[in-house]
Amino acid sequence: MSTLEQAYETQIKNIQTKTGKTLAELGQIVQASGLTKHGEIRAMLQRELGLGHGDANSLVHALANSDGQRAAQTQGASTDDVLSTIYAGPKAVLRPIHDQLMTAINEFGEFEIVPKKGYVSLRRKKQFAMLGPASKGRVEVGLNMKGVPPTDRLTAMPAGGMCNYKVNVSDSSEVDAELIDWIQQAYASAG
């Protein structure tokens, strides 16, 4: 079992401990809600069970067996296949920015790339970054780190979200030392 699979199983066990409910009971709560859209179910779990965004999101995926990594594995898709889908059509012009970011991040050391539906999650013991096209004109870099003052470029995100900060990148010249330093700080804090 990979480190990622172990982390996922641990997260689901911790959710059950936090809520005092089994996975089957949590599934019944979702079914009884009558909700069908991922975002609506996630918001309901956050509201009703006091879960954070990440836990609620993972729980929805676990109950629906729908996260991007499992979908990619089921379909036999590689990370490159997923990236080709994410950066298709008008977003294809952003793929070089993604590749440039990944070249720099690969210099840090070992980590896992977890393909999702519209982005990739980069993980060590926990997620340290997310990369994906936010629109046809920019790549969004989500970062998980603490104690870094926000700037005009490094935007603090609301508490309880998937990332603490985000940086929008619309040109390869913006993949500079400052951005790489922030990503490296996030990498180091993910341990």
Contact 45, 61 (CB under 8 A): no
Tell me the C-alpha distance between 116 and 97, whole Å: 18
Maximum distance among all alpha carbons in the chain?
50
Spell out the per-residue pLDDT of the chain, length 191, in tens. 455 566 677 888 888 999 999 888 888 898 889 888 878 888 899 999 998 887 887 888 778 765 555 544 444 556 777 788 889 999 999 999 999 999 999 999 998 888 887 888 898 888 999 999 999 999 999 999 998 999 999 999 988 778 899 999 999 999 999 999 999 999 999 98
Tell me the C-alpha distance between 122 and 110, whole Å: 10
- State both tokens at 139: 């790549």
- State both tokens at 90: 């008008």
Indicate the pTM of the whole model: 0.65
What's at 73, amino acid-wise?
Q
